[in-house]
Amino acid sequence: MFFLYNVFFYSLYGVLYLISLFHERLRKNFEIRRIPLQFRAGGRPVVWFHASSVGEYEQARVLALALKKKHPQFFIFFTVYSYSAYSQRREDTAFDYLFPLPFDFPAKMKRLLTTIKPQVLVYAKYDVWPNLCRLAYAQGIPQLLISATLPSNSWRLRIPFSLFYRKLYHMLQGVYAIHPVHAQNFSKLKIKSLVYGDTRFDAVKQRADKIPPTVATLLRKLKKLFLHTELFVAGSTYPICEEFILGYLEGHPHSAAIVVPHHPEPKRIEGIVALLKQKNIPYLLYSQLAKRRLPTGVRVLVVDTTGLLAHLYSLGKFAYVGGGFNGKVHSVLEPAFFGLPLLTGPQIQNSQEAIDLHERGLLTVAPYPDKQFLKEFIYKYQNRALYGQVKKALQNYFRENCGATQRLLLALEQATQLRSAGGKSPQKKAAPEVQ
């Protein structure tokens, strides 16, 4: 099976390389893999965390910080797969070294493992690369999959992929699922897992509790800008989302919005600005805030940078989360933390928390981007008692799901004998039973 995987991977690499010559974002993913590894652990034992992109990075980061606080003797080596994660998080202090994970060629992965010599390898959510996993297993390196997800509609559960992933996941010492549904799906692959929850709840709370001074100043400024308006914070938006939200604003002058597009590249920002001009809605770009006095009459702030969305939700009365009309809904946890009534499109099966909130009546799903539906959603929450009930229920849901980080820290210590720092790696143990 690994032979077939490698044949496929080598072929895919060639195709993607050709596409990258004409695709800027993909080209950046190739470019960061030319960065040389300049790794020096200074004799300290290494714990390796890997995440695919920004969201998964946050899941691993909160555990890495907890480990670093309790066991400062360890060297935290972090790898990420996507350019966005590398570019946005390379100045972070959670790690000792950040490196773009090489493409999954056996020789490259073997070289990296030989150089790093990790005491344990921790994957976040799902991003287990077959050659890396196989070679680490062969070297007796314990591997854990934290905040593990396996949605019921995942292609990993379909033959022939399920046969491959069953073999792959059996090489992991521990699989820690986010939810009983996901644990049951792992059991379909004959993989035993424990339900330890999702570290993203802890990560979101930690981030909200520690607002950088510059961000706090920005939030105060924006609060003045949108004083006396009914503010909608629209996060991770796509063109269909912007047409939906701005179409409603066009006919409702007392409403305003902060629009945070997914991948705020220049062409995307130009498209949003063109739409605002077409609808004659006064707007301001985030990049213009520092260059001019606070204007009056602005009804839309277009955020043409990254890294602010989680904090911007604190300003809103309502939240729209993008992706629900584009295949996969983005994170609903940040607005849930602030207790904002939530709206998205119908495609939420990739997100367990979106499913949970929808089943509890705390997430509204628009079947299609209709302005009338949005109008009715906002009208519904003019009822202050209902708004207060939903806000409280969302915050309770969030509190109920915190605590995964400490459970996983204990599992990490037990599975790898980190309490006896620098000792030999333990023998492979059986994975825990499904709960």
Question: Parallel, antiparallel, or unpaired for β 143-148 and 174-177?
Answer: parallel
pLDDT at 428 over 50: no
Using the predicted structure, report yes or no on whether residue 97 has a pLDDT greater than 90: yes
Q: Do domains 37-197+403-420 and 212-400 have the same CATH topology?
A: yes
| pTM reported for the whole predicted model | 0.89
| pLDDT for res 251 | 87
Say which range, 2-11, 110-119, 337-346, 419-428, has the weakest mean pLDDT: 419-428
Q: What is the pLDDT of residue 292?
A: 67
Query: Does residue 12 carry a pLDDT above 50?
Result: yes
Return the bridge partners of 123, or none: 50, 145
Tell me the per-residue pLDDT of 196-243, one tens digit each, with 9 for 90 and over. Answer: 999 999 999 999 998 999 999 999 999 999 988 999 999 999 999 999
For residue 427, pLDDT beyond 80: no
Helix (H, G, I), strand (E, B), or coil: what is residue 113? helix
Q: What are the CA-CA distances from residue 53 to residues 127, 225, 332, 347 (Å)?
A: 9, 32, 17, 20
Q: Which of 419, 413, 406 is nearest to 197 (CA)?
A: 406
| pLDDT for res 235 | 97
pLDDT-based confidence at residue 295 (cuts at 50, 70, 90): confident
Which of 3.40.50.1820, 2.40.10.170, 3.40.50.2000, 3.40.50.1110 would CATH assign to domain 212-400?
Answer: 3.40.50.2000
122 closest CA partner among 323, 424, 420, 415: 415
Structure tokens at 135: 């070679």
Flag whether pLDDT at 416 surpasses 90. no
Q: What is the largest CA-CA distance in the chain?
A: 67
Triad 73, 76, 78: Cα angle to 5°: 175
pLDDT category, 435, cuts 50, 70, 90? very low
Residue 364 φ/ψ, nearest 5 degrees: -90, 130
Question: In one letter, which amino acid is 412?
Answer: L
Tens of pLDDT along 250-292?
A: 989 999 999 999 999 999 999 999 999 999 999 999 999 877 6
- pLDDT value of position 289: 85
Quote the strand ranges of 93-247, DSSP E: 97-100, 118-124, 143-148, 174-177, 194-195, 230-237
Q: State the DSSP code for 407.
A: H
Mean pLDDT score, 424-429: 42
Enumerate residues 6+ apart whose C-beta is below 8 A from 81: 50, 51, 52, 53, 100, 101, 127
- The mean pLDDT value for 78-91 works out to 94
Do the beta carbons of residue 194 and residue 435 sit within 8 Å?
yes
Mean pLDDT of the chain: 93
Q: What tokens does 375 get? A: 């109008």
Rounded to the nearest angstrom, the gap between the alpha carbon of residue 132 and the centroid of all alpha carbons in its chain is 22
Task: Break the chain into its structural domains and give their ranges.
Answer: 37-197+403-420, 212-400
* Phi, psi for 228 (deg, rounded to 5): 65, 25
For the domain bounded by 37-197+403-420, which CATH number is listed? Answer: 3.40.50.11720
- H-helix or E-strand spanning residue 371: helix 371-380
Whether 418 shows a pLDDT value over 80: the answer reads no
> What mean pLDDT do residues 166-182 have?
97
396-409 per-position pLDDT tens digit: 999 999 999 999 99
Q: CA end-to-end span of the chain, whole Å? A: 30
Q: Is the pLDDT of residue 420 over 60?
A: no
Q: Provide the residue count of the chain.
A: 435
Q: What mean pLDDT is predicted for residues 166-174?
A: 97
Identify the band that residue 429 occupies on the pLDDT scale cut at 50, 70 and 90: very low
